[in-house]
Amino acid sequence: MLLEGIETLLVLAKEGTMSKAGSQLYISQSAVSKRIARLEKRLGKKLIEPAGRHIKLTADAVALIDNVGPSYKEIKGLIFDQQHFQDHTLISLACSETLVAGYLGNMMGRYVQHDPFVTITTHHTPVIIEKVQAGDATIGFCAGHLTPQHGLSTRHLFDEPFSVISNQPLAQQPSALLVNDFKNPANANQASLLQKVGIIPLMEMDSYTASAQLALGGVAPALVPASIVKALQINPIYCHHFEFLDELTRPVHLCYRQNSYQSQRIRTLIETIADSVPKAI
- Tell me: do 175 and 99 sit in the same domain: no
- Tell me: do 96 and 141 sit in the same domain: yes
Domain count, the chain: 3
> Residue 108: its pLDDT value, please?
94
Round to whole Å and give the CA distance between 255 and 156.
9
- Tell me: do 17 and 39 sit in the same domain: yes
- Tell me: do 111 and 141 sit in the same domain: yes
pLDDT mean over 219-228: 96
pLDDT mean over 222-230: 96
b/e map of 184-200 (b: 16 or more CB within 10 Å)? bbbbebbeeebeeeebe
- Tell me: do 145 and 193 sit in the same domain: no
Range(s) of the domain holding residue 196: 159-250
Tell me if 197 is assigned to some domain. Answer: yes
Report residue 281's pLDDT band, with 50, 70 and 90 as the boundaries.
low
- Tell me: do 146 and 166 sit in the same domain: no
CATH for 229: 3.40.190.290
Pairing of strands 139-143, 91-95: parallel
CATH for 119: 3.40.190.10
Tell me if 86 is assigned to some domain. Answer: no
Tell me if 147 is assigned to some domain. Answer: yes
> Residue 73: its pLDDT value, please?
76
pLDDT at 274 over 80: yes
Could you read off the pLDDT of 129-147 as tens digits, one per residue?
Answer: 989 998 989 999 999 988 8
Round to whole Å and give the CA distance between 40 and 57.
12
- Tell me: do 139 and 190 sit in the same domain: no
Indicate whether this model's pTM tops 0.85: no
> Are the C-beta atoms of residues 178 and 221 closer than 8 Å to each other?
yes
- Tell me: do 256 and 187 sit in the same domain: no
Q: What is the DSSP letter of 156?
A: E
> Residue 119: its pLDDT value, please?
95
- Tell me: do 164 and 232 sit in the same domain: yes
